[in-house]
Amino acid sequence: MDEGQLLLFLTQVLVVLAAARVLGEVFRSFDQPPLAGEILAGLLLGKTFFGQLAPGAFAALFPDDPTQLALFDVTAQIGILFLLLVIGLEVDVASAWRLRKQSMSVAVCGVVIPLALGTGVAWFAYEGWSDGVVPKLAFSLFVGAAISITAITVVARLMFDLKIVKSDLGLLLLSAMAINELLGWLVLAIVLGMVGAAGHGGSGALGLLAIVGGTVVAAGVATTFGRTLTTRTLQWFDARGLPNPSTPLSFVVCLGLFCGVGMHAIGVHPIFGFLIAGVMAGDHRALSEHSRSVIAQMVESIFVPLFFAGICLHVDFAARFDFGQVVIVTALSIFGKFFGAWVGTLGVRMPAFDRLPTAIAHMPGGSMGVLLAVVGRRAGVIDEPLFVAIVFASIASSLVVGPLFSWSLRRREVFNILGMFPKKGLIPNLEARDRFGAIEELVRRACEVEPGLPEPALQQAARMREETMGTGIGGGIAVPHARLDLLERPFVLLGVSKEGIDWNAVDDQPAHLVFLILTPIDDADTQLEILGTVARGASRPEMRALTQCESPAQMWLQLQGMLRPQEG
């Protein structure tokens, strides 16, 4: 590689990254996933638009030179690997296990039903959709996997923006989609193993058996022993006072590289190894929310835009757009996952109002659908028209989920929560110095306000909920909550910590306002309304004034301003 090639590579990265980031932020400003803007940047800069408008300039900026293509391709490959690492960090195995009755039903139905639909359609469309090189079963299963997988990152960002990521509904959705992604990638690993085995003649059957067995064993070890060992290693780093977040960041990246090499050694695509590494390092007790945020921001601000924009540069989406395939794949992707998740909610005990948002949340393919399309095209499983159809379906499903999910939440009854704050439940100066101590202090006050409440049961319920998933929402606010059979009505207590309490929030800021939300066990709608109202009120000036209050009377006056319904 000479200096001219290096200069051209740097120019490519500059142009693509700048365009992808700008358009990604434009889409984000309209409450849409940045993924759509990043892919749009690739379409505008690639063969689809720029290559048709100015073919000479396009050839000069993105020549077909093998070295030049390899340079950008390697950068894109780094993006896809580290994106899977970040996604793996979102897979909370402990939470999924605690909610296994609910999350397993939703996740399995949300995968199996669209997987079966997609596999069946692809099986009958094999002659028209495939070139016949890939075995029929492998091709059909791949299409089914691409249709059935859900993008946890799209839904997690949506719930974060709506201020419900720390709610019980948020916990259920994240747990179900964590299982969904593991199942989807397990199917992908098996499909790629089938494709690889088909190319090894008579040893194919044994090779496929080894790949499937190795994949299942690797996933099992990662979610049990591997996760425990990784957690203890990260805790050891923290106990020794090693630099944070640089030390855990380096360790997690090295773990991803190690797992990628290991999975490749048994015949599985290295991308699955990075997902496994993320799962191993995802325990919230070992890796703080701030450290996760640092890793995610590094990947999402540089590598991910380059990857998603880069995949569109050398594909003419207009020329490869097959209307029939696009319509069928998009319909299967959206309605298949919706129907599958809806069926899953019918088999478990959950509030009726949560069934619709749960089903809607499983619709987006997002980055995961695009990733599967890229892996399938590079492995020779699908051709360019089907690649375009899967990418289109992934983007379309991600664009519609935001408005639909928000609408499903707005269907709940809107009310003023100020009446749920008992004046005796306002504590202007919490004595506790850690989050579990603050929860215990607020629960004791709750039992003074409502003398009939069983304090031990309430303490246990609130503590278990906090251990399952931290409730620090950032901005100096924490919202611990619990649901209990014996509660007849919901109510909220508020404690102020002048010094601040470390609540493991994503912005790494201490919590000064601690809202303890207590609701009856079958009343999830009220909990979501309270969480949303508190989070929206946090942007008002009264929130800062609350931390300066010296008496419950002063707190009550500020609460009235903070929680009053906004005009317009």
- The residues annotated as belonging to the active site are 481
Q: Which residues pair with 496 in a beta bridge?
A: 513
Question: Distances from the Cα of 85 to the Cαs of 8, 88, 447, in angstroms?
Answer: 29, 5, 44
CA distance 151 to 304: 14
The closest alpha carbon to 72, from 2, 4, 3, 8, belongs to: 8
Render 482-533 in DSSP notation, one character per residue: EEETT-SS-EEEEEEEEEEE----TT-PPEEEEEEEEEETT-HHHHHHHHHH
Residue at token pair 């095209």: 377
CA atoms within 13 A on the CB side of 219: 22
Q: Print burial letters for 230-255: b (CB count within 10 Å at least 16), e (below 16).
A: bbebbeebbeeeeebbebbbebbbeb
The closest alpha carbon to 493, from 415, 416, 420, 414, belongs to: 420
Are 146 and 390 spatial neighbours (Cβ–Cβ below 8 Å)? yes
Are 106 and 357 spatial neighbours (Cβ–Cβ below 8 Å)? no
